[in-house]
């Protein structure tokens, strides 16, 4: 299994580390328009590899080096500076995707390659990449709200004093400020959230739920304020997504692909079954009327942003 990572800044390096540590790939190639940066990352990661799985890691200085890749991860482009939203990156990163995707597609097998998008604003970049690559939407996958869902699971699990592994909860819609916490579909040990709280005599008040939502929505801003960028969480999320693809695990992940019909076509995150051929099935989650309305609003925001590039 050969994978390519395009854009080897904070995120691309963290992705490379996390992917290398899965032991599932035999070759990782790194490309960055800053070739010295890609070479340095390949050198450093290559040294790290001697302590773990035997993975061949190299920097390439043109897109011919991407040939033979089964999966291409795009993590290039500007990141948020303190105070910036993901949407502020729209025009700049649209140019980055327009630059990268045709060059990648000229060097991979369109019948089997899977593109994984990480660049923000994520959902619009998925729409753009899919329209340029002309691949089936199921094989142009954005990490979407995987990270937001992980943040929700972590925060909720601390309030409920259970392991995050026992919490099933999803953040849906845009990977951005309009994302929707789907309280209606939360289950813990097979129980609904309300049942679990009743049985454990640990009620979650409305204000606690609001605090949890606030923390989920603002997690990236907090991390960027403290360490300049976010990278470890997204690195782990990409490795998790890759595992489901490479092992054909059929895991249910909140990834973003282009879907919908008529005037409702948009990329956004919903719970989707992911396997060797990319997204296999999209699930319709249980939602309240307010949550469904918020999800529709989120879709409209993504469409509007897409129409501006």
Residue nearest to ligand NAD (CB): 9
Residue with tokens 């409702």: 264
Burial class (CB in 10 A: 0-12, 13-18, 19+), 260: middle
Instruction: Give me the least distance between CB of 230 and ligand NAD, in Å please.
Output: 5
Instruction: Dig out the tokens for 264 from the structure.
Output: 């409702």
What's the half-sphere exposure (Cβ side, CA atoms, 13 Å) at 295?
Answer: 25
Instruction: Give me the least distance between CB of 116 and ligand NAD, in Å please.
Output: 10
Burial class (CB in 10 A: 0-12, 13-18, 19+), 164: middle
- Residues that are catalytic: 175
Instruction: Give me the least distance between CB of 197 and ligand NAD, in Å please.
Output: 29
Residue with tokens 């937001």: 148
Rule CB under 6 A: say whether 100 interacts with ligand NAD. yes
Q: Name the residue nearer to ligand NAD (CB basis): 172 or 204.
A: 172
In the list 93, 244, 254, 298, the residue contacting ligand NAD (rule: CB under 6 A) is 93
Q: Name the residue nearer to ligand NAD (CB basis): 40 or 162.
A: 40
Determine the Cα–Cα distance for residues 214 and 2; give it in Å rounded to an integer: 39
Instruction: Give me the least distance between CB of 64 and ligand NAD, in Å please.
Output: 15
In the list 69, 119, 185, 266, the residue contacting ligand NAD (rule: CB under 6 A) is 119
- The DSSP annotation for 129-192 comes to HHHHH---GGGEEE-TTHHHHHHHHHHHHHHHTS-GGGEE--EEB-SSTT-EE-GGG-EETTEE
Rule CB under 6 A: say whether 34 interacts with ligand NAD. yes
Segment near ligand NAD (CB under 6 A); pick from 61-69, 116-124, 133-141, 152-160: 116-124
Interface positions with ligand NAD (CB under 6 A)? 6-12, 32-34, 37, 75-80, 89, 93, 96, 99-100, 118-120, 122, 143, 147, 175, 229-230, 234
């Amino acid at each position: 299994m050969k994978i390519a990572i395009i854009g080897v800044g904070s995120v691309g390096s963290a992705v490379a580390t996390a992917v290398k540590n899965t032991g599932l790939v035999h070759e990782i190639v790194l490309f960055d328009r800053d070739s010295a940066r890609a070479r340095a990352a390949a050198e450093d990661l290559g040294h790290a590899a001697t302590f773990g799985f035997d993975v061949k890691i190299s920097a390439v200085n043109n897109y011919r080096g991407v040939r033979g890749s089964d999966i291409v991860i795009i993590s290039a482009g500007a990141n948020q500076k303190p105070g910036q939203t993901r949407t502020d990156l729209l025009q700049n990163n649209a140019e980055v995707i327009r630059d990268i995707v045709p060059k990648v597609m000229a060097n991979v097998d369109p019948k089997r390659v899977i593109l994984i998008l990480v660049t923000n604003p994520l959902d619009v970049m998925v729409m753009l990449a899919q329209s340029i690559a002309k691949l089936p939407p199921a094989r142009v996958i954005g990490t979407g709200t995987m990270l937001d869902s992980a943040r929700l699971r972590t925060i909720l699990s601390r309030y409920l004093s259970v392991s995050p592994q026992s919490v099933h909860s999803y953040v849906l819609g845009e990977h951005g400020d309009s994302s929707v916490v789907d309280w209606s579909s939360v289950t813990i040990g097979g129980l609904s959230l309300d049942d679990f709280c009743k049985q454990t005599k640990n009620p979650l008040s409305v204000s606690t739920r609001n605090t949890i939502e606030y923390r989920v929505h603002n997690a990236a801003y907090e991390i960027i304020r403290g360490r300049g960028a976010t990278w470890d969480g997204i690195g782990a999320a990409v490795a998790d997504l890759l595992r489901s693809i490479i092992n054909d695990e059929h895991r249910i992940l909140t990834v973003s692909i282009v879907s919908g019909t008529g005037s409702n076509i948009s990329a956004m995150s919903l719970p989707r079954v992911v396997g060797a051929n990319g997204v296999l099935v999209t699930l319709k989650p249980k939602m309240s009327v307010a949550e469904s309305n918020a999800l529709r609003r989120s879709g409209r925001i993504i469409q509007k942003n897409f129409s501006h590039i």
